[in-house]
Chain A
Amino acid sequence: MTEKKATRESYGAALAELGEKYDFLVLDADLAAATKTGMFKKKFPERFFDCGIAEGNMMSVAAGIATTGKTVFASSFAMFAAGRAYEQIRNSIGYPHLNVKIGATHASITVGEDGATHQCSEDLALMRTIPGMTVINPADATEAYAAVEAAINTYGPVYLRFGRFPVPNLSAELPDYKFEIGRGITYREGTDVALIATGYMVHLAVEAADMLAKEGISASVVNIHTIKPIDRELITETAKKCGAVVTAEEHTVVGGLGSAVCEVLAESCPVPVLRVGVEDKYGRSGKVPALLELYGLTAERIAARAKEAIALKK
């Protein structure tokens, strides 16, 4: 397996490298060292602006910059971007459909020791309610880099979610890996159950599929990196083939990938769907592996839910 890397590292590297090729500005709210926008700052100090600890102002400033025809990234932790500045994102950026890219790092419980106030497990739900907002949750370093470039090349508001915890770089191992906004990626073709995962949970879904294979269960694995616009076609097609679905997300099961998949399938192909994610709870302090175990964000949990989903098939 390739070396593990946090998607935030890839975000910073992408900004710093793509800054040579594309003209954009970067804003941060006193977290440049943590969000990794500092890598861009170091290389392009004249195009980087710290907004201080004032995330609401930062989002509206970004909107103002975008009205002048410039592309701009605004970064903070997911909690303070999607959470604290929700209304600025909705009214200043979303409503006028401005070309602002929100780079939100430190999402959900893999933040670890900082605990519940900094573990935003609600950001995908919040962001996907905003009309016209593109919401991307990359699974690994390669995908995170590709997502940043795709966001630059797509006009309009984009919410990009990155994590703090290192994750295996599965995308790098895929032959012909291609990132396209709104197009999910099938990792495994199976027939008994579909494991539809996003972000940090993608590699765990692959592990779960391996576990299930040992028991003679054939599982599809799909990576939905774009939560909005969601890949209805691939989700429907996979559900039809497998007849049962498990979703997996490092996010609350209220309003995130699980909900989005249910919305699609209720309309296109009603099959049993079981959701793995944060079960309507706040996070807490702890080491990341212990937290993942405590909140049920594991390959074992996905595999167990898969068997339950299969049992629910008519």
Chain B
Amino acid sequence: MEQTRLNALRRTANNIRLGIIEGVYSAGCGHPGGSLSIADILTYLYFEEMNIDPSNPKWDARDRFVLSKGHTAPALYATLAERGYFPKEELKTLRQIDSHLQGHPEMKNTPGVDMTTGSLGLGFSAACGMALSAKVYGNDYRVYTVVGDGESEEGQFWEASMFAAHYKLDNLVCILDLNGLQIDGPITEVMNPTPHDEKFAAFGWHVITISAHNFDEIEAALAEARTVKGKPTVIIANSVKGKGVSYMENECAWHGQAPKEDLYKVAVADLLAIEKEIK
């Protein structure tokens, strides 16, 4: 990818990470770790890949996005705000009583949220329903869903995988955020769902494995997915939980807690330092 475009994406992703920290810090709770791990993927989807119009969030022909790992709503909200769906200032209202930014994504009141999610496994199935509808009614929009590696322990996750392959939903792309950690510890220790690649392949999917923080690889994978016919594509994205914030990286403890003021300042300083490096 050309350097200017790459730097622009990096800056956007960094702004999204700042938005995540801002939201979670303001709320005093929430899920920063798994939000930071998907920031680059959301950046590419919303700023390069998807056919969307922030001024018309309910546009019929738009590509759809379902954040099946709904607890990482701070990442989705920061991305939507960065893309212009609503003012960035609103990120500070996350989880507040009078805010439209619910603890988990809610489609009725938040512009740009295509599906209500939060209970794990359900969003993946809903994305399948959207993709099926497009096929039945001859619409050419595409459907993207980001799922969690811990989420893949849910039985419904594999029901959805079976369904998507059975109905040849090649307009569906599932991106698995493989950060290796869930609330109780490493996924391989809590309830080992690996290997994901072999499982998805056995279920009839086209499988691509990338680094979740490499824009060239993200771009190549999504381009490849567009060429795959007759089967859905899963992109297994190896990621770092807490990516970008020094003390959160690969730390299970930051799955579901907000930093206090001192650590909030460290997080912001970390991200501002990354921004400087980009220039």
Interfacial residues, chain A to chain B (CB-CB below 8 A): 25, 46-47, 49, 51-52, 54, 56-57, 59-70, 87-88, 91-92, 95-97
Contact = CB atoms under 8 A, between A and B. Distances in A.
Contacts of B118: 91
Contacts of B114: 67
Contacts of B129: 60-68
B107 interface: yes
Interface in B22-77: 60, 64, 66
Interface in B104-133: 106-108, 114-116, 118-119, 121-133
Nearest to A70: B133
A18 to B, nearest CB: 18
Q: Chain B at the A interface: mostly helix, strand, loop or mixed? A: helix
B119 to A, nearest CB: 5
B107 A67 contact: yes
A70 B60 CA distance: 12
A70 B162 contact: no
B136 A46 contact: yes
B159 interface: yes
Nearest to B130: A64
A41 to B, nearest CB: 14
B160 interface: yes
A68 B133 contact: yes
B116 A88 contact: no
Contact of B128 (A64, A70, A87, A97): A64
Q: List 10 tightest A-B contacts by C-beta distance, closest first.
A: A64-B129, A60-B125, A64-B126, A57-B159, A54-B159, A61-B129, A68-B133, A96-B116, A65-B129, A64-B130
A49 B167 contact: yes
B177 to A, nearest CB: 19
Nearest to A68: B133
21 contacts: A54-B162, A56-B121, A56-B155, A57-B160, A60-B121, A60-B123, A60-B126, A60-B128, A60-B160, A61-B125, A61-B132, A64-B66, A64-B132, A65-B132, A67-B114, A70-B137, A88-B125, A91-B116, A91-B122, A92-B122, A95-B106
A92 B159 CA distance: 15
B163 A96 contact: no
A100 to B, nearest CB: 10
Contact of A56 (B66, B134, B159): B159
